[in-house]
Structure 1
Amino acid sequence: MKNSHTPASGPRPPSLSSHLKVFIALLVLLLASVGTAYIPMGPFNLASNIGIAVAKALLVLVFFMRLKTDSPLLRIVASIGFAWVLVLIGLSLTDILTRGIGPVS
């Protein structure tokens, strides 16, 4: 009898080359976020760093959590959670970017 081990559910694991590509992309995004810390862009520093952080989070969600190839229900739940985090970040940015600089009298 041939014993071929196949998992009961879920797709096959990603290859080493895809892991290396994602790792390199995460390192490039890390260098970009460190680089933007030294560039004076005013309030756009925060927005650019949050954009870089969202890109890193999407890479981790899609490749390391295998949302790209897993069940549709898991993708729906993860995207709802990610959308909620984006709403909270957007509301926080709205509050921070519209504050006055001077003290309140």
Structure 2
Amino acid sequence: MSFLAFFFGMSRYFRTSDSVNRDYFDVFGNGLAIFYLLMVVPFVVALWVQVYKGVWRLDIGKISKIIMVVLFVLVTLVVAFFGFYAHILFYYGFAP
């Protein structure tokens, strides 16, 4: 949050032409996307590891354990993809 406040405060303080502002906002958008990837990917991997450990402790069949892990990985990938897609759409103003 402090990064966002600093960025918008500085962009308001140093007013330039529209093309320069657009370039800086593109850099900001790319930086934000990379920041999300660097923060979210390790979190999701750690979550997968914990779920993997927990599933193997359950008293169910081996095939059921494998299916549970695969479904969890697929659901998190789908949710992460749509969340990132929605972030890009709303950030650049393409959302309906």
Q: TM-score, normalised by structure 1?
A: 0.46
Q: TM-score, normalised by structure 2?
A: 0.49
Query: Where is the helix percentage greater, Structure 1 or Structure 2?
Result: 2
